[in-house]
Amino acid sequence: MYKTEPIFLQPVFQERIWGGEKLHTEFHYEIPSAHTGEAWVISAHSNGPSMIKNGPLAGKTLADAWKEQGGLFNKATSNDEEYPLLVKILDAAEDLSVQVHPNDQFAREVEGVPYGKTECWYVVSAEEGAELVLGHHAKTKEDLAQMVELGEWDQLLRKIKVKAGDFVYVPSGTIHAIGKGIVILETQQSSDITYRVYDYDRIDAEGNKRELHLERSIQVTTVPHQDASVEQTETNIGDLVEKKLVEEQYFTVYHWNLNGKALKDMTKDFLQVSVIDGQAALTIGENTFQIEKGTHFILPNGIGKYSLEGHAEFIVSHV
């Protein structure tokens, strides 16, 4: 009975010192303040679990569904690990701190949590000249440690310019920071472990600097920086252009551009879908659902064929 409709999810908002108002002005969400940095839009993480909006599971969290209704995700009953992925939209009104995330092994051994954090970003919008940090110029760990200690950020950090529609893949161990003026949709492993390297010496409303984690940052950073090579392919399905942005160990992420009608076949265990522009009708069997920019849902296992009609852009992912 659950397998005839999508699982629509309610975003969870996170206020951040670097956040802004674009989650309201661009996505029309009711945000808690003018410093809203993140909307966790498909999340089973305990720091911000999404609530299910429809169907027999309405009012439960995605984490509940994962635990109690494993069939929706084609999850083996013996597998009690946590929901693997997390999707967020971030509004960087100011620069985010320069940071790095551990891999699974380090996360398990040192932090006692199941997942490290590999992430990737689709740039939804970017102001003129917006740039972000991806990687560094240190040649050895000693080099890295010394440049961090001396605060040689201009020499250390590798900056790149971005525009709307760009895609950035950020494996664990990559030093990174989203720069101001950028709104991204992030698909990542379901983890909240961040080692902060540099925070521009900012202070919060109480006059405190945010904590840095230099030793662990240096431990987990890949040296020298390696640019991940990402091969992108494009497929036409009816009036939908499906561009595969990345396919790797933890997730596969696509951009869909719909201009008309497309009939698709659900072949994955489950699919995470975010509408990032436009509107469309989603039909599964007898049921049609209106979806628009800012709608996020999961297509559960076993729904078979479904159709999309309208003009919309999506970011879609699966494990």
Beta bridge partners of 280: 291, 310
The number of helices, as runs of H, and strands, as runs of E, in the chain is: 6, 20
Percent composition of the chain: helix, strand, coil (DSSP 3-state, to 5):
15, 45, 40
CA pair distance 10, 192, nearest whole angstrom = 19
- Confirm whether 202 is a catalytic residue: no
How many CA within 13 A on the CB side of residue 23? 30
DSSP lists the bridge partners of residue 237 as 240
Distance CA 304, CA 285 (A): 9
Q: Are 256 and 285 in contact (CB under 8 A)?
A: no
The identity of residue 252, as a single letter, is: T
Contacts of 152 (CB under 8 A, 6+ apart): none
| Cα separation, 215 vs 240, whole angstroms | 47
Catalytic residue, from 196, 202, 210, 216: name it.
196
Residues that are catalytic: 196
